Amino acid sequence: MGRVYNFSAGPAALPVAVLERARDEMLDYQGSGMSVMEMSHRSKKYLGIIQHAEAMLRSLMGISDDYEVLFQQGGATLQFAMVPMNLIVDPKGETADFILTGSWSKKAMKEAKKFFAQTRVAASTEEVQFTRIPLQDELRLNPDAVYVHMTSNNTIYGTEFHYTPDTGKVPLVADMSSNVLSRVVDVNRFGLIYAGAQKNLGPSGVTVVIIRKDLMGRNANLPLMLDYKAQAAEQSMLNTPPTYAIYILGLVLDWVKDQGGVLGIEQRNVRQAKRLYEVIDRTGFYHCPNQPDSRSRMNVPFTLKKPELTDTFLAESTKAGLVTLKGHRSVGGMRASLYNAMPDEGVEALVSFMIDFERRYG
């Protein structure tokens, strides 16, 4: 079988064990005589699937009953708008704080600006091309803000928060699309967490929202589909949910449990990222612009000292079965995404290729 090591930033590689289980259950899901794709979302079997996915997420992340877990559509991008729509009651008087650490946080702020008069930048590292994460004491937080928004991992620039900002009484809202479930986090530190599934959780089409219950229901006049309270009241089944994506999400969560839970996954991610950064930093042939204490374990961008070799690197690595390594167009060079499903063998194969490439062209 021609499986490659896929370093895509998303949609990204899924665990082979998950794909195999989905294959085995494809035509006849647990004696139902049909595929999950063909099943009514109101059926008993399907209710079992969605409830299992929620229970697994709650157990793996330690989510208490103070929070709702929602399975939404529209990607993380819709959350850029849903968060301000739901959290802001007085669009003229209220404001929110944004920590700008890359393209996605800028997009989140731009979208939020449509819903209230002002947004504040609590910190930005744009002047250093987003090569680092601001420290806690650099955050200029407004104690009257309705929320503080952060992007916990910057998929494009390859930086990551290695601490949870302290925002006092102001709810912290985090876009965790590209590092959810990759490390242990204390959910109680957040007012709201959202994540598109297509990196660490499953296929695209479903977005997980974890919201503290007291933050729901502030705004009575929202369209139902965009109202967290209405979605929660119907257990994310206000309309037909993305049934198959939620099913695969459940299988991915079973797999995470089998890997020793989030802690087991985190230890592997730490090891894999360390291995790759060591090879990048070894001689100067490769270069990662990001400050070491801000580097992402999930998305590792790097360039070549001889940029004219970039196309050769990409062509030869693809030939070696190491695919989707091209960097984002705004950064250039290469980007290796090491999401949860990346096996150690994939990282070893990449590292061996890089050492050999350097030996031949360095």
Ligand X SMILES: Cc1ncc(COP(=O)(O)O)c(C=O)c1O
Tell me which residues are annotated as active site: 104, 175, 199
Q: Tell me whether strands 159-160 and 153-154 are parallel, antiparallel or unpaired.
A: antiparallel
User: Closest separation between CB of residue 287 and ligand X, Å?
Assistant: 23
Question: Which residues are registered as beta bridge partners of 207?
Answer: 72, 196
Per CB under 6 A, the list member of 6, 95, 101, 177 interacting with ligand X is 177
The answer to the question of residue 175 lying near ligand X (CB under 6 A) is yes
Which residue stretch of 26-34, 69-77, 85-93, 269-277 sits at the interface with ligand X (rule: CB under 6 A)?
Answer: 69-77
The answer to the question of residue 250 lying near ligand X (CB under 6 A) is no
Which residue stretch of 24-32, 117-125, 171-179, 254-262 sits at the interface with ligand X (rule: CB under 6 A)?
Answer: 171-179
Per CB under 6 A, the list member of 36, 39, 76, 208 interacting with ligand X is 76
The answer to the question of residue 269 lying near ligand X (CB under 6 A) is no
The residue type at 79: Q
- Backbone φ and ψ of 98, nearest 5°: -125, 135
Per CB under 6 A, the list member of 6, 72, 101, 155 interacting with ligand X is 155
- Backbone φ and ψ of 70, nearest 5°: -120, 145
- Residue 197's SS3 state is coil
The answer to the question of residue 11 lying near ligand X (CB under 6 A) is no
Exposed/middle/buried for residue 169 (C-beta within 10 Å: 0-12, 13-18, 19+): exposed
CA distances for 299 relative to 79, 158, 225, 328, angstroms:
22, 5, 32, 11
Per CB under 6 A, the list member of 95, 101, 125, 178 interacting with ligand X is 178
User: Closest separation between CB of residue 39 and ligand X, Å?
Assistant: 25
Per CB under 6 A, the list member of 32, 35, 73, 77 interacting with ligand X is 77
Total chain residues near ligand X (CB under 6 A): 11
234/68 Cα distance (integer angstroms): 11
Cβ closest to ligand X, residue 94 vs residue 175? 175
186/276 Cα distance (integer angstroms): 27
The answer to the question of residue 205 lying near ligand X (CB under 6 A) is no
65/313 Cα distance (integer angstroms): 49
Per CB under 6 A, the list member of 6, 119, 151, 269 interacting with ligand X is 151
At residue 56's C-alpha, the angle toward residues 53 and 62, to 5°, is: 135
* 8 A C-beta contact, residue 22 and residue 251: yes
List contacts with ligand X (CB under 6 A).
Answer: 10, 75-77, 104, 151, 155, 175, 177-178, 196
